[in-house]
Amino acid sequence: MSRSSTRDALLRQGALLFARHGVADVTTRQLHDAIGARNESALHYHFGGKDGLVEAILRAHLEAVEARRAPLVAAIAAGDRTADPRALVHALAAPMDEDLRTELGRAHLRIVARLSYPSLAYRRPFQIVDAPAGLAVARWLHATLEPLPRPLRLERLAMLRSQLISLFGLRAQLLDESAPGEPPVTAELFSGNLLDMLVAGLTAPASAETLAAIPRE
């Protein structure tokens, strides 16, 4: 196996193992066995260790999602739809939805869901890759929600990110573990219903109780 193919095999098999068992429970020996590597230094050679492999998997996933999101964002800007919440949420969700179609894509979604801690929703995602398309959508959503007080807008966007990650991770797991011939609801129903739910929650009027809970500046 060539160096490049060994690296690619580690990226693929590592993602599948991490998604199935969790990062902490996968050993270096399991990773080497999964790719049939006789040299047990392959992981260290290519990635510096298991943490480096995890970061490379996340980077590849986030870069692919951003690349798929960029044309959606360009179309929103060209069509003057930057104030359309459904179009904006669709631009966030659709590139992730595409990963549900493949075993490796589902593994990526499950790993991100496993590793995404709640506090990350309040910072740039993972600090691994630049994501100008995703950040543009976040800015447009923030402006669209401008009738709401700023603390409430920030909280809703943090919740939106967390919901996208967790719900796609759960959907990926459900697809992976469904019995043959018994898939859950269709992809079209899942995607449409997800958008309905997320947009409704994002744009829901704030209650008097919630507004009263916002700290005074």
pLDDT in tens, 41-96: 889 999 999 999 999 999 999 999 999 999 999 999 999 999 999 999 999 999 99
Q: How confident is the model at residue 3 (pLDDT cuts 50, 70, 90)?
A: low
User: Angle between the 28-35 and 3-21 helix axes, to the nearest 10 degrees?
Assistant: 120
* 85-89 contact pairs (CB < 8 A, 24+): 85/141, 85/144, 85/199, 85/202, 85/203, 86/195, 86/199, 88/137, 88/140, 88/141, 88/144, 89/141, 89/160, 89/195, 89/198, 89/199, 89/202
Distance CA 112, CA 59 (A): 11
List C-alpha distances in Å: 202 to 14, 78, 117, 205. Answer: 35, 24, 21, 9
Q: How confident is the model at residue 126 (pLDDT cuts 50, 70, 90)?
A: very low
Percent helix, strand, coil in the chain, to 5, is 75, 0, 25
Stretch 136-160: mean pLDDT? 93
For 182-212, the pLDDT digits (tens) are 767 899 999 999 999 999 999 999 999 999 9
Let me know: does 54 contact 24? Beta carbons within 8 Å.
Answer: no
* Single pTM value for the model: 0.90
Q: Which residue has the tokens 């990526």?
A: 108
